[in-house]
Each structure stands twice: as C-alpha cells, then as structure tokens.
Amino acid sequence: MIRNDVTAAIAQRRSIRKYTAKPVTDEQLETILECGTLAPSGMNLQQWFVAAVRDPALLKEISALQKEAVLAMPDLPPVMLERAKDPAFDATFGAPVVLIVTAEGSRGSMDACLLGENMVLAAQSLGLGTCISGSVTMAFQGEKGTALLKKLGVPEGYAPVFGITLGEAAEAPEDKPREKKYAII
Ligand SMILES: Cc1cc2nc3c(=O)[nH]c(=O)nc-3n(C[C@H](O)[C@H](O)[C@H](O)COP(=O)(O)O)c2cc1C
C-alpha cells in the first residue's frame, strides 16, 4: 500500500470501546464536524444532521434509553441482554462525546454514511478514537426517544442512522482480519 497521512489514518483506525475521561477540545470537535460536512452527498443536498453530544446528563440518558430498548426485545443476542442488565455497562463506552448521525430519507442515509467515515478518519488523524454504533440508535425509539431527539436539536424528518463514540482511546485493539472482496478487471 502507498503510505501517506490519509492511508495511514485508514490503516491505523480501530473501533475503540474504552475511553479515558480526557475531554475532546472545541477545536478538535469542530475540525471533525467540518470534515464530516466536506463529504460528498447526492446532488450536494447534504441531507444529514449531526448532534455532537457531550453533556454528561444527556450521554447518560442515551445509554439508559438504549439499555431499556434492548431489554424490551428479549430475542436479541444474550450478550446484548446481559450487558443491558448490567448497571455498570455504558452503552456509549464511557466516551466523552457521542455523535448522533441523522439523515433525511433513505438517500440521506447514504450521505450520512460518507459524512460519518470522514469524521472517523478525521478523528483518527487527530489521535482520537471512535466506534460506529448502530445499537445506540435504539435509544431513539418510542416516545421517550423522539423527545430525546428533539432535545438534541435534530430537525423534524431526520432519523438516526448510527452513532459514533469519540474520545481518547483507553485501549489498543488488534486489527480485525479483512477479506480481499474486490476484483481488478
Ligand atoms: C454500521 C455499523 C454498525 C456498528 N455497530 C456497532 C455496535 O452497535 N456496537 C459495536 O460495538 N460496534 C459496532 N460497529 C463496529 C464494528 O463492529 C467494527 O467496525 C468491526 O468489527 C470491524 O472492526 P474495526 O472497526 O476495529 O476495524 C459497527 C460498525 C458499523 C460499520
């Protein structure tokens, strides 16, 4: 692989599920959010909205609602149910920031994915860890979840696509194996 700053950030990124309490600075957060909005989007419609949550009370509420939603679905994998029952388990891994990535419509979801990866790689380049979390979106189901989305300033018509936990990594996971699922024709 040709190595430069961009390919190094791509190669070195890992999903981080343990964070230190060190805050993410305003400058770091703004850089990450701006890099997100520099992503391509269909017809440049930018059908995304990101709520960057760092208020500890709101982070707690997101985790509590996610765990409540998991416990309401007994058919989920036992590992998820066990963690949701554990009062010490934080569904956002103790990260000081959680980015709730939302989108308008199904086309907006594609835009949101590209914005998300831009933010993840920008964070990596700044020495910060991230983990995309599909399961965090469970916090936004039902009436309480809708009310929480409003509290986060998410515009009407926008739905959560995934979350991104963000902060200083407190673990250094091994890289996960990848298959070569491509062809050069
Ligand atoms: C759409 C999507 C949803 C994910 N949801 C979760 C999740 O809910 N919880 C979690 O711990 N990791 C989640 N991940 C992280 C993946 O488990 C991780 O990217 C994968 O195992 C590869 O590991 P790596 O990111 O360290 O290379 C998600 C990743 C993606 C792309």
Instruction: Report percent pLDDT > 90 for the chain.
Output: 98
22: confidence class by pLDDT, cuts 50, 70, 90: very high
> Which of 133, 136, 140, 175 is the pocket-test mutation for ligand 1 (most atoms within 8 Å of CB)?
133
pLDDT in tens, 118-173: 999 999 999 999 999 999 999 999 999 999 999 999 999 999 999 999 999 999 99
- Which residues does residue 49 pair with via DSSP β-bridges, in sequence order? 102
5-167 architecture in CATH? 3-Layer(aba) Sandwich (3.40)
> What ranges do the domains of the chain cover?
5-167
10: confidence class by pLDDT, cuts 50, 70, 90: very high
Sequence letter at residue 98: V
Give the pLDDT mean for 19-41.
Answer: 98
**From the CB of residue 1, how many other CB atoms can be counted at a distance below 10 Å?**
7
> Which of 131, 161, 162, 175 is the pocket-test mutation for ligand 1 (most atoms within 8 Å of CB)?
131
132 CA distance to ligand 1 middle (Å) = 5
Q: What pLDDT, on a 0 to 100 scale, did the predictor assign at position 126?
A: 98
- 97/177 Cα distance (integer angstroms): 28
pLDDT in tens, 71-98: 999 999 999 999 999 999 999 999 999 9
**Mean pLDDT across the chain, nearest whole number?**
97
103: confidence class by pLDDT, cuts 50, 70, 90: very high
Q: Does residue 106 register a pLDDT over 90?
A: no
pTM value is 0.97
3-state helix, strand, coil in the chain (%, to 5): 45, 15, 35
Q: What pLDDT, on a 0 to 100 scale, did the predictor assign at position 107?
A: 87
Pocket of ligand 1 (CB under 6 A): 14-15, 17, 131-135, 162, 173, 176
105: confidence class by pLDDT, cuts 50, 70, 90: confident
- 152/97 Cα distance (integer angstroms): 13
67 CA distance to ligand 1 middle (Å) = 18
